[in-house]
Structure 1
Amino acid sequence: MDRRKFMKNLCGSSVMMTILPAANSFAQSMNTGLFGNKDHMKDLRFFSNPLLGNTTKVSVSPDKVQSESYNTFTFTIVLGEDGLAKGESIGIVSGSNIDRWQFSWPDQMWGCQCPWQTERSQDDNYITARCSNSDAELELKVGELGGFKPYCNERAHLVRSLKDRLRYVLEIKAGSELRPGDVITVTWGDKREGSEGVKAPITAMKYYFMPFRFSLLPALDSKTPVRRGGFDMLPSITVAAKSAVRLYVTAQPFVQAGKDIEVKISALDEYFSLDENFSGDIKLTVEGENETITRSLKMSAADKGSISTKLKINKTGWFKAKASSKNINGYSNYIIAGEEEPENKVYFGDMHCHTLDCDATVPREHHFEYARSAAGLDFISVSCHASHLGSKQAWDNLLDKTELYHEPGSFVTFAGYEWAGDGHCNAYFVNTGDAELFYNPALEQEAELDDPKFRTPVPIPGTREKKPGKPYFVKGVIDFLEAVNKLNVPAFVIGHCHTRYQFADDNVMWLFEMHTTHQVSDQEKRFQQFVGAAGKYFGVCGGSDNHRLPAGSMMPNPGEKWPNPFVPDICYNTAGLQATFANNLTRESLYEGMKARHCYGTNGCRMVISFNCGGAMMGDKTEIGPGQKPRFSIKVGGTAPLKDIVLWKYSSEDRDWIEAEKFTDIGSDRWEAELEDEKFSSDAIYYLRAVQADGGTGWSSPIWAAKKA
């Protein structure tokens, strides 16, 4: 079906309108229930912002509902000293339609795609409006979607969309002059004629709504509250999770027997949102071949859906923790207890996600809180797009939140961002105060638009003309990496599916992101190409690149569950994870682990991988003496039965990748092996790929084995 026709069928028409009579009087309307109880406004929380005009305020009620529940919401607009002139309009853009791309799944959006409609009073999302002024006339209109990326990448893409009545913006137009103090009450999900109301999105988080006057829309997005980090001036609705259907359990994979380890437990609903209201007794069992440990725990509503406990495993071996409560349970990743304190431990994180004040719909706080409390991650970076972060206020706010959530030893945060020019890549900083935000070179001509300044243009030594008068920056990635390097601060870069790796300086770009939620290419083939023939010294990681889901989200294959009717060729996968070996959980230690390429990536599963060659571990370069062969010690602990494991090899003689060893139909969820490459005769590169029966996959960083003369 044609996309425009699809949306017309979904919303009723591309532009919908109705003219509604005013109530006879404000007093009568309150008595007859059109505005609720006469004291209803004293309990409302009102918000004002510069786009509403002098002293005009807006509130929404209720402001907290449950995922997938049907509700009726009331927007109460109290006009300020300017009133509302005849023909002037107030708009409201839904919390699901203010990101840059509008790529989404219907169940994740208010109203299951189109948030409101005015024509069918018995259908979902029916919206009406009334005014306390008995002489007032109001007209409601609902805009069109406007396509996948309306005015994409323009500095005014949001403002232009709203001015053109796109993004399903709700327009409330005055058919007559409204006075200061007049109250407009918008009933969203009006049930009086049989509508079920409005269905809340599935994802539990806070959704902001931006009200504004069309006449006060600025020239640039950077002047709007959502691009300035001004969320405290916007009404919002918090969607709470449904009741938990699983317990998610995490633990440090490599531990010393006899020492305390921490086990984290979170209660998640069917969409992997954190059930903050969960309460109940929990039985924790840690079981291995030679030892079983049990612990009785209790989670209360005060714990907000997650708890942790410490315990000792006294014997060596492989263990898993199981948490059970009533009829729900969950298992941890494998825990491998050894006799000695491990020199390096494995920490899981997500270094790639995007926020509402940039080009996504997830508030920055929700990324941090979900990653820490629901996903049990150890480290994170909220990495906004440098080109689309709206203002210095938003950038400073992001840096402040990065510091606020940083707790060394418990939860580590990095300041970072995604840079886009001739390819994309992400920059990160150990010290938040060192973070330098560089311009996308294609937008360098707009550098003067930032007020106040907060981005630094990357100097471009040479350009060529792609079109007359339009410079084409052929060395964008090279210049960006050079600019990061010249800062002379502890900083590094991670590449992903849009990176032009052929230009990458691997002294600055350390890791190759093998998997993200919106994979658009065969990353493993690209990885083999650049690490093999091109000789790049890249380690491996995974990440989420989430725009619609929080960092570390465990939602499995959302693109299969909710195919996007507008962009059917984009496949949304389960978000990836990064695992980094480090001495301890600090920024400095994780930085050193990533610099050494002591990392692996997964496509979301919390797989445990140990891949060593003699005294070298994944990410290392080692020498193989005369007459010797590389000997590998491998351990893989899956979260499901393992399907196959491949030891990939690139030989400097053959200049091609081959499966040096392949093991299939493993059946068990754990695997150990000692392997020797008897055909080793020249310098070679090796890495491990492990695949589970459920599709869960992990990729180690390579080991570079040089033949010693």
Structure 2
Amino acid sequence: MDRRMLGKVELYPKGDVVAGSVGTWRLVFKVGKVGIDEGGTIIITRRTVCDSDIPQLEDPSKPGYVTVTTTGEAKLRVRYEGRYHIRPWRGSLVIDVYDGFLKEGDEIVVTYGDRRGGCPGFRMQTFREREHTFRVLVDSFGTGKFYEVEVSPTLKIIGGPPDIVEVVAPSKIVAGEAFRILVRVLDSWGNPSENYRGTVEFESTDAEARLPLRYRFKPEDHGCKWFDGVVLKSPGTHVITVKADDGMEATSNPIMCCREEPPLKLFWGDLHGQTRMTVGTGTVEEYFAFARDVAALDFCSWQGNDFQVTREGWEEVKRMVKSFHKPGRFITFLGYEWSGLTPEGGDHNIYFIRDDEQIHRSSHWLIEDKSDEDTDRYPITELWRTFRGHGGVMAIPHVGGRYANLDLYDPEFIPLIEVHSCHGTFEWFLEEALKKGLKVGFVAGSDDHTGRPGLAYPTQRISREIASFDVKGGLTAVYAEELTRESLWEAMWKRRCYATTGERIILWVEADGHQMGEEYETGSPPKVFVRVYGTGPLMEVELKRGTETIYRHPVSKPRGSSDRRILVEWSGVRSKGRAHRVNWDGELHLSAGRILSVEEFAFDKPQEGAWRFSNQIVKWSSTTSGDVDGVILEIDAPEDAKVTFSTKPITFTFRVGDVTHEPLSVDAGGVNLKVRVWEVSANGGPTRTEFKYVDEDVKAGVNPYWVRVMQRDGSMAWSSPIFVRYEP
């Protein structure tokens, strides 16, 4: 039909909107020639990932209040439904017409953030989007068949005022050789502050360093600026500090300055994210540009849900992969997400070493053109059958909408598994793989849907029925000889890589001279060497054998009673999968003595936190999605004083005198749902450490040795295992 006959829509005010800002917007729909009969419906829907205020129609004094009126001679029945329309357009304002009809020229006015009753306004989504669409669909005859108006209104959402500055540098460089660094200024939600015009200066722990001159940001920088020609001259581990004239300050990730070219360099990437082609936002071109220019990644891949990737869409992905691929500067991998249901395989990211390959989807569920449906492969064993002998395919199972089924693991295709993304931290997935005896390494990514691969921040609640992204996206670190597709591919197949929660922590693990990911056989107790350079003070460094902790390096052990603090941390999920977060809102009570201070530990969202309610009570608001939250307590109390921890998942009591540096762990059910209580240093641990450990209790057979790192800011890293076959 001629969609112009449905009507015309305008959105006011026009102009750019700052991400996360609060305001009032009026959407005016002028009914077209067709009109809308009694029983007809109008839908205003936005993308699933949109995390603006959830429209509410009940309380005119609360945030997100929406009103809907009409100039026509009919009544309107309005409701908001989180899963009303077709993915990726789910959260919908549904407007039913009754007791009359609407004719050409009648108007429906929707006011988002109507302030007349005291509502503070309507908060816009927290991430940038060049074309944020209010998609308007009309069912004029009440048939259940909807048509979109010819032009749905859009807004451009931009980054907000500066909140933090960050500086990103290579993890390994050679003394005397020039390299480049990125300085980015971000708003409160992790977006580039595009209108930043401040001035920055540089310092380094290397007194002989050649650093950029004082610089004032320009409009064309859009809040991010690369600086070339940086040189460190003193071998060792250094950092670069950037100071802005408005008081912001940041220190770079650790930089290992080598005397000569190292045999292996350390590269950083995010291999997992989506765009508006499937369930995310932005174009594929914008996605790769952000990864390269803002997130400062060395490598990246796009991973759209296959059941939404059309033939034309796949060709676009291939073009963008080729266009952005620049050996030595930025590496792209062609790929997609095979998105079958868990019993038949579950979510697997598929990667190719070449950039012109056939996509084999799990289905064509949301693709209208079924002409190439014969290329689908379901279940995943059929995909393995098709790719058998291909030689240029890699699969990485992950926990997404449909968590991967490790019972269908195939070593010809799977060298790695994903242990962290914006959906949460999935140590249960890692442990399940080890218990099954799978020889896999560990990676992390973002599974970003907001156009920010490599720098994905948590979102706010998306709808009453759809999950938000609960934690910051992760990164994968790869030790490779050079920045080429072939070298990275080889390193990942050798499992010479590790995962972090987004920070560029340097982690090196070897056993008897064998690097992470390797397999070897020995008749002597393995000698493990670990080196960690953190981006902040180290809280815990654990050496694991399989799922058992065999050694905890005392990086944060208190140095006396005045340095003693008690960390109470909680973590886990209700059940396997994503969006199974646990509500830990609760409190703790001290029976005698005083709580002198409380420090928040690893909270992820601004609405979460802890506070000292009194000198014997601490309260908090917290959810976890496998990640860790907690409180660090300074207590002046007798040893027999009792602390009662009270939350919905679990309530228990412990004595102050029973808390040592060895964690007291209390199981709370669920999946890895637990509380740990242990003593830590008031000032945190060092930012770097190294140690050697000989496992005199090694077991006969294959022993996977790996390291788990946790910093005082809650950031984490997981090394890929070294698989040691011990034959005494």
- Determine if contact 2:212/2:227 at 8 Å carries over to the other structure: no
Question: Which amino acid counterpart does residue 73 of structure 1 have in structure 2?
Answer: W
Offset of 1:641 from its aligned partner?
Answer: 0.6
**Could you tell me which residue of structure 1 aligns to residue 302 of structure 2?**
382
| RMSD of equivalent CA atoms | 4.0
Question: Which amino acid counterpart does residue 212 of structure 2 have in structure 1?
Answer: R
**Structure 2 length-normalised TM:** 0.71
**Could you tell me which residue of structure 2 aligns to residue 301 of structure 1?**
219
Deviations 1:512-541, CA, capped at 9 Å, x for gaps: 111222237xx435434433x533221110
Q: Does 1:542 align with 2:465?
A: no
Question: Which amino acid counterpart does residue 505 of structure 1 have in structure 2?
Answer: D
Aligned counterparts of 2:156 and 2:270: Cα–Cα separation in 1: 24
Q: Does 1:322 align with 2:254?
A: no
Offset of 1:679 from its aligned partner?
Answer: 5.2
Deviations 1:373-408, CA, capped at 9 Å, x for gaps: 433222222312223x16434444444444454444
Aligned counterparts of 2:717 and 2:319: Cα–Cα separation in 1: 34
**Could you tell me which residue of structure 1 aligns to residue 253 of structure 2?**
333
Q: Does 1:212 align with 2:137?
A: yes
Counterparts of 1:24-63 in structure 2 under 5 Å?
52-53=3-4, 57-61=8-12, 62-63=14-15
Q: Does 1:644 align with 2:540?
A: yes
Secondary structure of the structure 2 residue equivalent to 1:384: coil
Which 10-residue stretch deviates more, 403-412 or 579-588?
A: 403-412
**Could you tell me which residue of structure 2 aligns to residue 433 of structure 1?**
356
Q: Of 325, 338, 352, which residue of structure 1 is paired with 2:272?
A: 352
Secondary structure of the structure 2 residue equivalent to 1:270: coil
**Could you tell me which residue of structure 1 aligns to residue 42 of structure 2?**
91
Deviations 1:57-81, CA, capped at 9 Å, x for gaps: 544341411133333434455666x
**Could you tell me which residue of structure 1 aligns to residue 498 of structure 2?**
600
**Could you tell me which residue of structure 2 aligns to residue 282 of structure 1?**
200
- Determine if contact 2:500/2:716 at 8 Å carries over to the other structure: yes
Between the two proteins, what is the percent identity of the paired residues?
23
C-alpha change, 1:92 and 1:408, in structure 2 (3 Å) is farther
**Could you tell me which residue of structure 1 aligns to residue 18 of structure 2?**
66
Secondary structure of the structure 1 residue equivalent to 2:190: coil
Offset of 1:309 from its aligned partner?
Answer: 1.2
Q: Of 714, 721, 725, which residue of structure 2 is paired with 1:695?
A: 714
Aligned counterparts of 2:361 and 2:484: Cα–Cα separation in 1: 26
Aligned counterparts of 2:9 and 2:355: Cα–Cα separation in 1: 36
- Determine if contact 1:286/1:292 at 8 Å carries over to the other structure: yes
Q: Does 1:144 align with 2:68?
A: no
Deviations 1:35-84, CA, capped at 9 Å, x for gaps: xxxxxxxxxxxxxxx7935595544341411133333434455666x443
Secondary structure of the structure 2 residue equivalent to 1:342: coil
Secondary structure of the structure 2 residue equivalent to 1:704: strand
Counterparts of 1:251-262 in structure 2 under 5 Å?
251-262=169-180
**Could you tell me which residue of structure 2 aligns to residue 313 of structure 1?**
232
Q: Which has the higher strand share?
A: 2
**Could you tell me which residue of structure 2 aligns to residue 200 of structure 1?**
124
Offset of 1:429 from its aligned partner?
Answer: 2.1
C-alpha change, 1:293 and 1:565, in structure 2 (3 Å) is same
- Determine if contact 1:279/1:298 at 8 Å carries over to the other structure: yes
Secondary structure of the structure 1 residue equivalent to 2:304: strand
C-alpha change, 1:620 and 1:219, in structure 2 (3 Å) is farther
Secondary structure of the structure 1 residue equivalent to 2:348: strand
- Determine if contact 2:208/2:234 at 8 Å carries over to the other structure: yes
Aligned counterparts of 1:451 and 1:705: Cα–Cα separation in 2: 50
Count of aligned pairs:
588
Q: Does 1:527 align with 2:430?
A: yes
Aligned counterparts of 1:516 and 1:236: Cα–Cα separation in 2: 29
Offset of 1:259 from its aligned partner?
Answer: 1.0
Secondary structure of the structure 1 residue equivalent to 2:93: coil
- Determine if contact 1:416/1:435 at 8 Å carries over to the other structure: no
C-alpha change, 1:361 and 1:92, in structure 2 (3 Å) is farther
Question: Which amino acid counterpart does residue 688 of structure 1 have in structure 2?
Answer: V
**Could you tell me which residue of structure 2 aligns to residue 686 of structure 1?**
705
Aligned counterparts of 2:280 and 2:23: Cα–Cα separation in 1: 25
Aligned counterparts of 1:233 and 1:583: Cα–Cα separation in 2: 51
Offset of 1:663 from its aligned partner?
Answer: 3.6
- Determine if contact 1:434/1:489 at 8 Å carries over to the other structure: no
Deviations 1:136-168, CA, capped at 9 Å, x for gaps: 54655433325xx569xxxx5678x7xxxx732
Offset of 1:638 from its aligned partner?
Answer: 0.9
Offset of 1:552 from its aligned partner?
Answer: 2.7
C-alpha change, 1:676 and 1:93, in structure 2 (3 Å) is same
Offset of 1:130 from its aligned partner?
Answer: 6.5
Q: Of 507, 519, 523, which residue of structure 2 is paired with 1:621?
A: 519
Aligned counterparts of 2:464 and 2:118: Cα–Cα separation in 1: 30
Counterparts of 1:226-625 in structure 2 under 5 Å?
234-288=152-206, 291-296=208-213, 297-310=215-228, 311-326=230-245, 327-360=247-280, 364=284, 367-387=287-307, 389=308, 391-419=310-338, 420-421=340-341, 422=344, 423-440=346-363, 450-456=368-374, 458=376, 476-485=379-388, 488=390, 490-497=392-399, 498-519=403-424, 523-531=426-434, 533-547=435-449, 550-553=452-455, 555=457, 566=464, 572-613=470-511, 615-624=513-522
Aligned counterparts of 1:77 and 1:564: Cα–Cα separation in 2: 25
Aligned counterparts of 1:482 and 1:637: Cα–Cα separation in 2: 43
Offset of 1:170 from its aligned partner?
Answer: 4.7
Aligned counterparts of 1:452 and 1:526: Cα–Cα separation in 2: 35
Offset of 1:258 from its aligned partner?
Answer: 1.2
C-alpha change, 1:294 and 1:456, in structure 2 (3 Å) is same
Offset of 1:585 from its aligned partner?
Answer: 2.8
C-alpha change, 1:214 and 1:414, in structure 2 (3 Å) is farther
Aligned counterparts of 1:158 and 1:291: Cα–Cα separation in 2: 53
Secondary structure of the structure 1 residue equivalent to 2:423: coil
Deviations 1:630-675, CA, capped at 9 Å, x for gaps: 444432111111112122225xxxxx74515644426101112344
Q: Which has the higher helix share?
A: 1
C-alpha change, 1:338 and 1:139, in structure 2 (3 Å) is same
Aligned counterparts of 2:295 and 2:64: Cα–Cα separation in 1: 33
C-alpha change, 1:220 and 1:274, in structure 2 (3 Å) is farther
Question: Which amino acid counterpart does residue 336 of structure 1 have in structure 2?
Answer: M
C-alpha change, 1:123 and 1:502, in structure 2 (3 Å) is closer
Aligned counterparts of 1:501 and 1:691: Cα–Cα separation in 2: 26
C-alpha change, 1:535 and 1:217, in structure 2 (3 Å) is farther
Counterparts of 1:162-173 in structure 2 under 5 Å?
167-170=92-95
C-alpha change, 1:345 and 1:78, in structure 2 (3 Å) is farther
Aligned counterparts of 1:224 and 1:347: Cα–Cα separation in 2: 45
Secondary structure of the structure 1 residue equivalent to 2:482: coil
C-alpha change, 1:217 and 1:542, in structure 2 (3 Å) is farther
Secondary structure of the structure 1 residue equivalent to 2:239: strand
**Could you tell me which residue of structure 1 aligns to residue 531 of structure 2?**
635
- Determine if contact 2:448/2:456 at 8 Å carries over to the other structure: no
C-alpha change, 1:630 and 1:455, in structure 2 (3 Å) is farther
Aligned counterparts of 2:144 and 2:328: Cα–Cα separation in 1: 45
Aligned counterparts of 2:463 and 2:45: Cα–Cα separation in 1: 20
Aligned counterparts of 1:123 and 1:355: Cα–Cα separation in 2: 29
Question: Which amino acid counterpart does residue 298 of structure 2 have in structure 1?
Answer: D
Question: Which amino acid counterpart does residue 64 of structure 1 have in structure 2?
Answer: D
Question: Which amino acid counterpart does residue 409 of structure 1 have in structure 2?
Answer: G
Offset of 1:315 from its aligned partner?
Answer: 1.3
C-alpha change, 1:511 and 1:124, in structure 2 (3 Å) is closer
- Determine if contact 2:63/2:122 at 8 Å carries over to the other structure: no
Consecutive unaligned residues in structure 1, runs of 5 or more: 1-49, 226-231, 461-475, 651-655
Aligned counterparts of 2:542 and 2:376: Cα–Cα separation in 1: 42
